[in-house]
Structure 1
């Protein structure tokens, strides 16, 4: 008898979602496992993993509400477009008001198509 259900995993930064699922499969000895939404390798947070027969509802859970919290460093660009790369450009950041920040955040609210950098 397999282990059917949903596992809530606290994924730490430095591990991909695929690696986390692979480790869970190996440790629990399940045949099928899949997550309900990718977390970047640099991100930490709750990774929802469906096990064996629960993978049948995996797609339903992908559309669920998600909340993100981030810490930002403005004014630097790296060669890898993340915090791990070499800084290739630095710019002064003008003073930001709450109104400016909220205006920018509004553009990201709702569904967004994300295109990975090439």
Structure 2
């Protein structure tokens, strides 16, 4: 059973025992585990997990599973995702996103939406993608990002992913806004890196928002603080009546 902003108090009182699927709109500045911990603390559940990490700077849909529903996490993780992102052209950062240190700057060629769409179309389909150095992928048991933070470059093998759609929404003052529909395991930061390499000027992700996971939309999600407060209130009401 899913629970977004439309689920009722009676369901909340029962979700620890039965397990529920919660749709959360993750705010910028929170890690995915921050969201998990907030909900776990609110509901006092022993098991709460999420189905697909979002970087701290990113926002959008995060699916949380509680109780028995944690057994279904892989089902959600395997679903296709849709993202909206902004790429900054002409600069690169070590993390491939806005939180990183600028590592290079270069002139941006004369571009327009049509030209950019043609270039983005080259990535549509099944492709080999090399994940970012700053990624949670483990190399010999150690997350790649931990080695990257120490200035070490690690050999990360390409992964086969599928880009179903890659739409150019707008382009102005070296800011490219795109919408991407992709398979699990896709790194939007890596798509920005590869586009920047193709253009010869570099690029990084300025903003990233996950709009959907399979049929689950961020439009039906709840703010994490609002969700946590409603859970606490529901449990308090339930305790008063017991």
- Fold match (TM-score > 0.5): yes
Post-superposition Cα deviations, 1:2-51, rounded to whole Å, max 9, x if no partner, equal 25101111101111111211111111111101111111111000100011
Structure-2 change in CA distance of 1:88 and 1:12 (3 Å): same
State the partner residue of 1:12: 27
Say if 2:58 is the partner of 1:60.
Answer: no
The 2-side partners of 1:49 and 1:110 are apart by 29
State the partner residue of 1:23: 38
Pick which of 38-47 and 107-116 moved more: 107-116
- What's the offset of the Cα at 1:103? 3.3
State the partner residue of 1:78: 93
Bigger share in strand: 2
TM-score by length of 1: 0.84
User: Number of residues paired by the alignment?
Assistant: 118
State the partner residue of 2:66: 51
Pick which of 83-92 and 6-15 moved more: 83-92
Unaligned runs of 5+ in 2: 1-13, 134-147, 149-242
The 2-side partners of 1:22 and 1:108 are apart by 36
Larger-Rg structure: 2
The 2-side partners of 1:15 and 1:50 are apart by 18
Unaligned runs of 5+ in 1: none
Structure-2 change in CA distance of 1:77 and 1:10 (3 Å): same
- What's the offset of the Cα at 1:102? 2.1
Say if 2:115 is the partner of 1:115.
Answer: no
SS of equivalent to 1:10:
strand
- What's the offset of the Cα at 1:114? 5.0
Provide the alpha-carbon RMSD of the alignment: 2.1
TM-score by length of 2: 0.44
Bigger share in helix: 2
1:94 to 109, 134, 149: 109
State the partner residue of 2:121: 106
